[in-house]
Amino acid sequence: MNRLSAILPASQVLVDLDVTSKKRVFEAAGLLFENQHAIARATVTDNLFARERLGSTGLGHGVAIPHGRIKGLKHPLAAVIRLNHPIPFDAPDDEPVNLLIFLLVPEAATQSHLEILSEIAEMLSSRELRERLRNEADAAEVHDLIAHWQPLKSVA
């Protein structure tokens, strides 16, 4: 099991969401976390935008990892949203984004939170996996692809 799959229930994977801006996709993520975890959507969107102001969370290749620190949160939470149409995201390669993995962490971020981000970035660096995540029609199958992905093992 990878770190992302441990914090990503299948109910938090949305495919083919029809939004036209970063603001709208952040609002959709806020609503998802509000409905699933009773975190006020404004808290989620405000924290995502606060992080985004520091620099784009777009990685390139049409993917982004928006993330934020949430006061009072006890454990990291994740959601995956795939869009019908790519949106501008100020990514380093200027490519619009249509695959987003949201990560919320407790206010006092720890090394494990950085490791989760690093593992998500490693996962999204695979062109084959990105394409499979983009082309899979069913949200449960997208979740399954993520759940079965294994990070490269480091040699100690």
Q: Residue 58: what pLDDT?
A: 95
Predicted structure pTM score: 0.94
Arithmetic mean of pLDDT, 86-112: 92
The string of pLDDT tens digits covering residues 37-59 is 999 999 999 999 999 999 999 99
**N- to C-terminal Cα separation, the chain:** 20
What sign results for the dihedral spanned by CA atoms 34, 117, 142, 6?
negative
Give catalytic residues, as residue numbers. 67
The pair of structure tokens assigned to 72 is 């009072």
Nearest to 98 by CA among 112, 108, 83: 83
- DSSP one-letter string for 1-56: --HHHHT--GGGEEEEE---SHHHHHHHHHHHHHHHH---HHHHHHHHHHHHHHS-
Binned at pLDDT 50, 70 and 90, residue 70 comes out as: very high
